[in-house]
């Protein structure tokens, strides 16, 4: 089978289902087909090939792609064609993947359902009345619907793992610093990570391999060795010590979700691992901490969208200040405005110490909870989300309920450690996710445990 066949297959499937699923915002069809031909020619003439040679991939629309429209699902970037590639996109070129298109998301990655996209809804391929999760809802739905075998998402508080869980696919948030953020449109810079969404753990390890590593363009990328993630996929978990936080199986977590986690633990026990209940006592502060910090960082990061440098500009400005204010008022959606206001307030003088600084301190305590547990255990296991995918429209009126969806994924971003969601049974025909959390830069052990279920 040729690369052109693979790429054809991808567009054929998109033509069949994407009108319903709505995963893609922009297709890269002409370029992708031309590049596929090039790769097919290379098959004849070369004897060395990229790690993911010819593999179709979809890219979340907050990762910049040169010449290929990148909107962050925001009206404010409706006409933005980047003049450079994100580092991960360059790395994908090295790996010789074929970019099929850009994927829908919550505007600027703020949301848990894709209902905050400025353009359209993405639907859950398992049940079109339900959300695919978010903010990388397009990335998870496209893989689940068979439109692409690989996609990239970004995860600030759960945006890879939660949609992966809702759509029954595999999604990993790498350790903070494992993958370059250069060219990822910043939401909350101290939390954001790009990561792979795939159908299998093995595919996931391949894609992480391709995008990992230190980058001189991102000072927060870490200069640590990139191990061979594939060699971790042994299926051997004998002697492994698993911690199960009691806070992750407590109030608000659906019975079927709890049961599926307990079943998974039984499987691992059967393979020679052991587990014990532990406590992450500061978990209850994670949600408040996250929304203070992420909104503060977002309010600073999003100040660059001023209607002058790029993106949308209002037609109705009378003077410069008016131009800024009108462009932002017309270009940003409601959730983005809510976060900017929250963040601006938290950072304002007189409140900074009470909110932002306090939240930083609590973040340190949350991170310490994880450090303490990881002194004795190899991985932490729990559900990815408290419930399976909810109905479109069910939570839009109530931001706090929507925010609570990420209660089990957010602490992982605050601590900076890696976490994966893998499919783990179903409830009423909807997929459930198992979350496996590892030590800093120990994605290998996370993959090893995840692979034991395949």
Is residue 209 close enough to count as binding ligand GLN by CB under 6 A? Answer: no
Q: Select from 109, 197, 417, 449 the one that contacts ligand GLN (CB under 6 A).
A: 109
Considering the complex, state which of residue 109 and residue 144 has its C-beta at the smaller distance from ligand GLN.
109
CA-to-CA distance for 62 and 412, rounded, in angstroms? Answer: 21
Does residue number 110 form part of the binding site for ligand GLN (CB under 6 A)? yes
Q: And the tokens for 236?
A: 């051997």
Q: Among 97, 112, 122, 299, which residue interacts with ligand GLN (rule: CB under 6 A)?
A: 112
Residue 98 or residue 414: which is nearer to ligand GLN going by CB?
414
What would you report as the CA-atom Rg of the chain, rounded to the nearest whole angstrom?
21
Q: Is 60 among the residues known to form the active site?
A: yes
Question: Of 109 and 185, which has the nearer Cβ to ligand GLN?
Answer: 109
Applying CB under 6 A, does 159 fall inside the site for ligand GLN?
Answer: yes
Q: Cβ of residue 245: shortest distance to ligand GLN, in angstroms? A: 20
384 near ligand GLN (CB under 6 A): no
Q: How many residues does the chain have?
A: 454
Compare residues 99 and 156 and give the one whose CB is closer to ligand GLN: 156
Cβ burial 257-291 (10 Å sphere, 16+ → b, else e)? bbebbeebbeebeeeebebeebebebbebbbebbb
Binding mask 248-287 for ligand GLN (x = CB under 6 A): ----------------------------------------
Residue 419 binds to ligand GLN (criterion: CB under 6 A): no
For residue 302, the minimal CB distance to ligand GLN (Å) is: 13
**Which residue, 159 or 444, is less far from ligand GLN as judged by CB?**
159
Residue whose Cβ sits closest to ligand GLN = 159
Query: Which residue lies nearer to ligand GLN by CB, 109 or 342?
Result: 109
Cα–Cα distance, 339 to 106 (Å, whole number): 13
Site string for ligand GLN, 302-331 (x = CB under 6 A): ------------------------------
139 tagged catalytic: no
Distance spanning both ends of the chain, measured CA to CA = 25
Looking at the Cβ atoms of 218 and 297, the one nearer to ligand GLN is 297
Complex with ligand GLN: residue 188 or 232, whichever CB lies closer: 188
Q: Which of 74, 112, 139, 159 is catalytic?
A: 159
Stretch in the footprint of ligand GLN (CB under 6 A) among 41-49, 155-163, 261-269, 317-325: 155-163
Q: Which of residues 118, 158, 386, 411 is near ligand GLN by CB under 6 A? A: 158
**Under rule CB under 6 A, residue 104 binds ligand GLN:** no
135 binds ligand GLN (CB under 6 A): yes
Min CB(308)–ligand GLN separation in Å: 26
Residues in the interface with ligand GLN (CB under 6 A) total: 13
Is 139 among the residues that bind ligand GLN (CB under 6 A)? no
Should residue 395 be labelled a site residue for ligand GLN when binding is judged by CB under 6 A? no
Three-state secondary structure along the chain? Answer: CCHHHHHHHHHHHHHHHHHHHCCEEEECHHHHHHHHHHHHHHHHHCCCCCCCCCCEEEEECCECECCECCCCCCHHHCCCCCCCCCHHHHHHHHHCCEEEEEECCCHHHCCCCCCCCCCCCCCECCECCECCCCCCHHHHHHHHCCCCCEEEEEECCCCCHHHHHHHCCEEEECCCCCECCCCECCCCCCCCEEEEEECCHHHHHHHHHHHECCECCECCCCCCCCCCHHHHCCCCCCCCEEEEEHHHHCCCCCHHHHHHHHHHHHHHHHCCCEEEEECCHHHHHHHHHHHHHHHHHHHHHHHHCCCCCCCCCCCCCCCHHHHHHHHHHHHCCHHHHHHHHHHHHHHCCCCCHHHHHHHHHHHHHHHHHHHHHHHHCCEEEEECCCCCCCECCCCCCCHHHHHHCCCCCHHHHHHCCCEEEEEEEEECCEEEEEEEECCCCCHHHHHHHHHCCC
Give yes or no for residue 406 binding ligand GLN (CB under 6 A).
yes
- Is residue 114 a contact residue for ligand GLN (CB under 6 A)? no
Q: If binding is defined by CB under 6 A, does position 212 make contact with ligand GLN? A: no
Asked if the peptide bond before residue 308 counts as cis, ω within 30 degrees of 0, the response is no
Select from 56, 58, 157, 331 the one that contacts ligand GLN (CB under 6 A).
157
CB of 419 to ligand GLN, least distance (A): 12
Does 246 participate in catalysis according to the annotation? no
In angstroms, rounded to a whole number, what is the distance separating the alpha carbons of residues 191 and 132? 22
111 contributes a contact to ligand GLN by CB under 6 A: yes
Instruction: Quote the tokens at residue 287.
Output: 């949600």
> Please, which residue, 281 or 399, has the CB nearer to ligand GLN?
399
Which of 74, 113, 117, 135 is labelled catalytic? 135
Interaction site with ligand GLN (CB under 6 A): 109-112, 135, 155-159, 187, 294, 406
Catalytic residues: 60, 135, 159
């Amino acid at each position: 089978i040729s690369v052109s066949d693979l790429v054809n297959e991808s567009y054929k499937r998109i033509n069949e289902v994407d009108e319903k699923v709505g995963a893609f915002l922009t297709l890269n069809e002409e370029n992708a087909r031309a590049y596929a031909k090039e790769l097919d020619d290379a098959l004849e003439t070369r004897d060395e090939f990229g790690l993911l040679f010819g593999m179709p991939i979809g890219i979340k629309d907050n990762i910049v792609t040169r010449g290929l429209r990148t909107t962050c699902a925001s009206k404010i970037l409706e006409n933005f064609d980047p003049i450079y590639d994100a580092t991960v996109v360059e790395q994908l070129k090295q790996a010789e993947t074929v970019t099929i298109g850009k994927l829908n998301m919550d505007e600027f990655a703020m949301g848990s359902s894709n209902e905050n996209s400025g353009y359209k809804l993405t639907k859950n391929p398992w049940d079109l009345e339900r959300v695919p999760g978010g903010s990388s809802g397009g990335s998870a739905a496209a893989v689940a619907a068979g439109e692409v075998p690989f996609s990239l998402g970004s995860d600030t508080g759960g945006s890879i793992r939660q949609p992966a869980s809702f759509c029954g696919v595999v999604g990993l948030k790498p350790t903070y610093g494992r993958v370059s953020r250069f060219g990822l449109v910043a939401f909350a810079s101290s939390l954001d990570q790009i990561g792979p969404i795939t159908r299998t753990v093995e595919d996931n390890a391949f894609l992480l391999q391709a995008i990992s590593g230190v980058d001189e363009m991102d000072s927060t990328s870490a200069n640590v060795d990139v191990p061979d993630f594939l060699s971790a996929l042994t299926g051997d978990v004998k002697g492994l010590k698993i911690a199960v936080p009691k806070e992750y199986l407590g109030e608000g977590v659906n019975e079927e979700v709890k049961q599926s986690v307990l079943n998974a633990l039984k499987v691992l026990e059967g393979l020679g691992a052991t587990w014990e209940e532990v406590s992450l006592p500061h978990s209850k502060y994670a949600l408040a901490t996250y929304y203070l910090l992420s909104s503060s960082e977002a309010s600073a990061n999003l100040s660059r969208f001023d209607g002058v440098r790029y993106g949308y500009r209002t037609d109705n400005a009378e003077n410069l200040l008016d131009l800024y204010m009108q462009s932002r008022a017309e270009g940003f959606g409601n959730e983005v405005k809510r976060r900017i206001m929250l963040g601006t307030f938290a950072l304002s003088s007189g409140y900074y110490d009470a909110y932002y600084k306090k939240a930083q301190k609590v973040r340190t305590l949350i991170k310490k909870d994880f450090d303490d547990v990881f002194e004795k255990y190899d991985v932490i296991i729990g559900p990815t989300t408290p419930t399976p995918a909810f109905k479109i429209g069910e939570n839009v009126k109530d931001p706090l309920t929507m925010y609570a969806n990420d209660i089990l994924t957010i602490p992982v971003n605050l601590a900076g450690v890696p976490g994966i969601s893998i499919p783990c049974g179903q409830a009423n025909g909807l997929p459930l996710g198992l979350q496996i959390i590892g030590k800093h830069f120990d994605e290998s052990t996370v993959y090893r445990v995840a692979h034991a279920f395949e």
